[in-house]
Chain A
Amino acid sequence: MTERPEVRLTMAALPEGVGVVRQALAGMADALAFDQGVLADMKMAVTEACTNVVVHAYADDGSDGTADTLEVDLLADELGLTVVVRDRGSGIKPRAARSTPALGLGLPLIAALSDAFEVRGSSGGGTEVRMTFHYMRDADPVESNPIGETGWVPPDRPT
């Protein structure tokens, strides 16, 4: 069966788009009567996934020849809401050092705050992150995927 997104947002992969995605998410979560705590987790995880697209998916100079697109699907079912964040880049690859290095917290946060998540290649050649948030949680997902167990430590901690 082909999955039919209930809402699909397609926009330029720019920093100002991330807040727009949060607004759409808040509207959807409100319509679905999500708990405020789950909504907060959803906003955080989806923000991190979108930020990864804006920062990492495309070459800074446009040399990879792709239109820099950020695509977000919101799919509701009886268990919860699945959010798919997708880029049309050329896949995950090492990048040159940046003037403001990322903390590396994005995926650990996504793992800690979603009830289920998956990262995979998308049909367009880019990468997609699928995150599911349940209407009713049996347990706090942070307990299953605590940030401290991902190997993440604050960047200036002595080793």
Chain B
Amino acid sequence: MDANPIVLDDAAGDVVVVVVEGEHDIYTAPTLRERLDEALGRGGGVVVDLTAATFVDSSILGALLDARRRAQEQARGFVVSVGAEVEPGVQRILDITGLVPVLPVIDGREAAISAARDGVSGSPG
């Protein structure tokens, strides 16, 4: 069993959710990039749910920023969601890099799906 899975959830229909759980760094960044490619390939909005992520590093932020740029080029929604309680290994890097409004990061998967459906993809940068 993979302790740090990254899976696609398309229950929301036109918005695909990339669910990221556990610890992620340069080892799993290529997997995340593959999943993001797949999600972008579906043609709708994309949400990356970090609610169950316990650690993400700059390789992961790089993958998210690349996917966000591509979504913006295609005028598609791209939103990152977190839960009510965010692990320090996720919150800290988002806070100090100033990427919360850029990605953007929204509380709650449902709110993020709605925002992505509306075409939200963060501040111009």
Kindly supply a per-residue 1/0 record for chain B positions 42-69, scoring 1 wherever the CB is within 8 Å of any chain A CB and 0 otherwise.
0000000000000101110111011001
Kindly supply a per-residue 1/0 record for chain B positions 94-125, scoring 1 wherever the CB is within 8 Å of any chain A CB and 0 otherwise.
00111100100000000000000000000011
Kindly supply a per-residue 1/0 record for chain A positions 80-105, scoring 1 wherever the CB is within 8 Å of any chain B CB and 0 otherwise.
00000000000000000000111101
Kindly supply a per-residue 1/0 record for chain B positions 5-29, scoring 1 wherever the CB is within 8 Å of any chain A CB and 0 otherwise.
0000000000000000001011101
Contacts of B62 on A, CB cut-off 8 Å?
Answer: 100-103, 155
A154 touches B125 (CB 8 A): yes
Residue numbers of A with Cβ under 8 A of B are 15-16, 18-19, 22, 36-37, 40-41, 43-44, 47-48, 51, 54-55, 100-103, 105-106, 109, 112-113, 142, 146-148, 152, 154-158
A147 touches B98 (CB 8 A): yes
B27 touches A44 (CB 8 A): no
B27 touches A16 (CB 8 A): yes
Contacts of B87 on A, CB cut-off 8 Å?
Answer: 40
Chain B contributes a number of interface residues (CB within 8 A of A) equal to 28
Q: Which residue of A lies closest to B89 (CB)?
A: A40
Chain B at the A interface: SS class: helix
Chain A at the B interface: SS class: helix
Contacts of A102 on B, CB cut-off 8 Å?
Answer: 58-59, 62
A156 touches B58 (CB 8 A): no
B27 touches A22 (CB 8 A): no
Contacts of A37 on B, CB cut-off 8 Å?
Answer: 88, 92
Partner of A103, one of B23, B58, B92, B96: B58
Q: Which are the 3 A-B pairs with shortest beta-carbon distances?
A: A40-B88, A157-B125, A15-B27
A137 to B59, CA, bound (A): 28
